[in-house]
Amino acid sequence: MECLFCKIAAHEVDSNIVYEDDKVIAFLDIYPVNPGHVLVALKDHAEQLLELPDEDLQTVMLAVKKIMKALMNLPDVDGVNILQNNYEAAGQAIPHVHFHVIPRKSGDGYKHWPGSPYAEGNAAEITEKIKEGIR
pLDDT in tens, 83-108: 999 999 999 999 999 999 999 999 99
CATH code of the domain in which 20 resides:
3.30.428.10
In this structure, the number of other CB atoms found within 10 A of the CB of residue 71 comes to: 20
Question: Quick check: 111 pLDDT over 90?
Answer: no
Bridge partner list, 20: 25
What domain range includes position 115? 4-134
Per-residue pLDDT at 114: 85
Residue pair 6/45 in contact by the 8 Å Cβ criterion: yes
CA–CA separation, 103 vs 78, rounded Å? Answer: 8
Q: How many domains does the chain have?
A: 1
What is the per-residue pLDDT across 53-74, written as a single tens digit (0 to 9) for each? 999 999 999 999 999 999 999 9
- Catalytic residue annotation: 98
